[in-house]
A and B are shown apart, each in its own frame.
Chain A
Amino acid sequence: MLKIENLHVRVEDKDILKGINLEVRAGEVHAIMGPNGSGKSTLSNVIAGRPGYTVTEGRILYQGRDLLRLTPEERVWEGIFLAFQYPVEIPGVNNTYLLKAGVNARRRHQGLPELDAMDFMRLVREKAKLVELDPSFLARGVNEGFSGGEKKRNEIFQMAVLEPTLALLDETDSGLDIDALRIVAHGVNQLRSPERAMVLVTHYQRLLDYIEPDVVHVLADGRILKTGDAALAKELETRGYDWVRKEAGI
């Protein structure tokens, strides 16, 4: 589904990613772990199409197509979703309204009729239950006055509504207390399916106690230094990242 080949990315004259190779197949959950500043968030932002990142070398194929040619919104229409590490507040813009505009833009793109307000509200109420999101949140401004945990739950809720084919979760566990972590993980697990792939970007292993990954990668200094299964995450938890670096000769 997703194939990244020799990806080099520069941000403001600084090389952040220095030759990433990664393949993610339908139904798989990959965890990308690594120390701070290793380029984890850069990777998910580049896949989602965030402006400000320059790809200097390599390519990203998504369902066999050149992903880098698509605008961020086109990537969403093709089934990519990014759950933000720091969801922004957009004052005065209603949460539901934002989501409805997104869903209907995609339906237009797919040649489907737009959902009317009634159908959309039905969909939204059903999905809100999944992450135990209080329906009163839906009528508020986008992330306006939300706590850290509420923002992250809102991200998973949006993911449930948009039903992506490839979901990128950028540090979804950061800033969550244990209860919120459990709720968010439950939401994610509900969305696991043979047709859907997920990439979890995380600094800590604890999210992986709740969401078991199929593949674990260690990203450091802009490269994937090691790849393994769920056991690798446990090893990182106890031994830290330095040994991986040494092993790779850095």
Chain B
Amino acid sequence: MNTLKPEDAARQEYRAGFVTDIESDTLPPGLNEEVIRHISARKEEPDWLLEWRLSAYRHWLKMREPHWAHVEYPPIDYQAISYYSAPKAKGDGPKSLDEVDPKLLETYEKLGIPLREQEMLAGVAVDAVFDSVSVATTFREKLAEAGVIFCPISEAVREYPELVRQYLGSVVPVQDNFFAALNSAVFTDGSFVYVPKGVRCPMELSTYFRINASNTGQFERTLIVADAGAYVSYLEGCTAPMRDENQLHAAVVELIALDDAEIKYSTVQNWYPGDERGVGGIYNFVTKRADCRGARSKVSWTQVETGSAITWKYPSCILRGDDAVGEFYSVALTKMRQQADTGTKMVHLGKRTRSTIVSKGIAAGMGQQSYRGLVRIARGAEGARNYTQCDSLLLGDKCGAHTFPYIEVKEPTAIVEHEATTSRIGEDQLFYCRARGIPEEDAVNLIVNGFCKDVFNELPMEFAVEANRLMEVSLEGAVG
């Protein structure tokens, strides 16, 4: 009789694991003020930004790497990492896709992101970030007609310095945490979005991040500002080649929503997870935070985290404006020896602010999975409400799921609800499906997808299909 063999989960393939053979301009490993000056000069940045980077670096030197997360990894040698790598450009940056190196277009095509096609078929505007630089942004003219700015952040620094200076670091200050400080010192590229007052962005915006070069870190910085009454939906996807050494990815994402603005931010993270022995894989140490600055503003984070050797990530909302709404929908899958410590922070400052947290963790193989969430309701946040639902599903008996909820309520009129469940993938559910003629492996996928449905429903259509597919790929061979 067949039984579940979770250790076989390791046999699945990582489809994005290829390397693009492209000449790149890479800084030698090491970090010091010279490196930062070099990055800043390479990007022709104004003095204020260089100073900002240097102050972040000086803070970072005094900070210690955090170790409170439920993850284990050998010490990181920050001097062994290269902090800048760019595909060698011919002259200036590309003006259109025709000027983009065909090898890069091919890379994105292999990843299932045909930039050219997405340009032809109306629907999604894409910014593609390859190692440290943005290589292509599609649909820019059409967006410009609506007044929406969507461009690499390095370009925004040159073209819209006032906007960048006003908002950069206003949600995640340089000294916020160890990884955020490091990012502020060395960030190379990422996306910048500004949606002006009252504008509903006419299409989904998306950025695909790709780490290609070896021994490099990726430190992208994303800044999204929705002005009063604006709406934008932004998607982010990430992949990397299979390599035996660990690579560091320390990103910072800042979202700002003014009065009545709404930002929907969706992530499908599929960085290389390492192999079944735990060799290689991306260290994904990311700071994502939204400031719901305006009254009735709303930010919704949706994430599907299936990749990375280690994930340390807590997309958060500061609910500053009265009646602001924060949402966090998360599916995290850890298999083989992957570890994830992920969750959210909802900080209620304004009156009648509301937040919803739905977290679904799935652990297979020897994967370790932790939900860590903070709900803080400050005094004066009258009538604030939070609802948290946090479910874990275990496949096999060598994996683990943990829940660390922190609740701090200083406002007597607030209502906070927390529900949590942990279940093993039901032998009964599995047998029920098989007794209806469904092969065991399909049955596991069916049950896991059902478990994640509340979160997948929040994803934009294009991503929901991808997320479903990704979960299937990830569970290929999860049963014997």
Contacts and interface: CB of A to CB of B under 8 A. Distances in A.
A250 interface: no
Nearest to B428: A88
Contacts of A103: 437
Interface in A126-172: 141-142, 158, 162
Contacts of B434: 49, 71-73, 76
Interface in B441-471: 442, 446-447, 449-454
Interface of A: 48-52, 71-73, 76-77, 81-82, 84, 87-88, 90-93, 97-99, 101-103, 105-106, 141-142, 158, 162
Q: Which of B428, B436, B454 has the most chain A CB atoms inside 10 A of its CB?
A: B436
A125 B447 CA distance: 24
Interface in B293-339: none
Interface residues of B, number: 26
Nearest to B434: A72
A124 B452 CA distance: 26
Interface string B403-425: 00000000000000000000000
B431 A76 contact: no
Contact of A51 (B3, B449, B452, B453): B3
B72 interface: no
A92 B454 contact: yes
B3 A73 contact: no
B1 interface: yes
Given A51-B3, A93-B449, A105-B442, A88 B437 contact: no
19 contacts: A51-B1, A51-B3, A51-B427, A72-B431, A72-B434, A73-B437, A76-B437, A90-B433, A90-B446, A92-B450, A92-B451, A92-B454, A93-B446, A101-B433, A101-B438, A105-B437, A158-B436, A162-B436, A162-B437
Q: Which of B3, B434, B435 has the most chain A CB atoms inside 10 A of its CB?
A: B435
Contact of B446 (A77, A101, A158): A101
A227 B347 CA distance: 71
B435 to A, nearest CB: 5
Interface of B is mostly: helix
A97 B468 CA distance: 15
B13 to A, nearest CB: 23
B439 A73 contact: yes
B127 interface: no
A86 to B, nearest CB: 8
A81 B442 CA distance: 19
B329 to A, nearest CB: 14
Contacts of B429: 88, 90
Given A76-B435, A82-B435, A91 B440 contact: no
Nearest to B431: A50
A98 B435 contact: no
Contacts of A87: 432
Nearest to A54: B1
A92 B442 contact: no
B190 to A, nearest CB: 34
B426 interface: yes
Contact of B450 (A52, A91, A106): A91
B166 interface: no
A103 B428 CA distance: 20
A90 B436 contact: no
Given A91-B453, A98-B433, A162-B436, 9 more contacts: A49-B1, A71-B434, A82-B435, A90-B432, A92-B453, A93-B453, A97-B446, A101-B436, A142-B432
Contacts of B428: 88
Contact of A71 (B2, B427, B446): B2
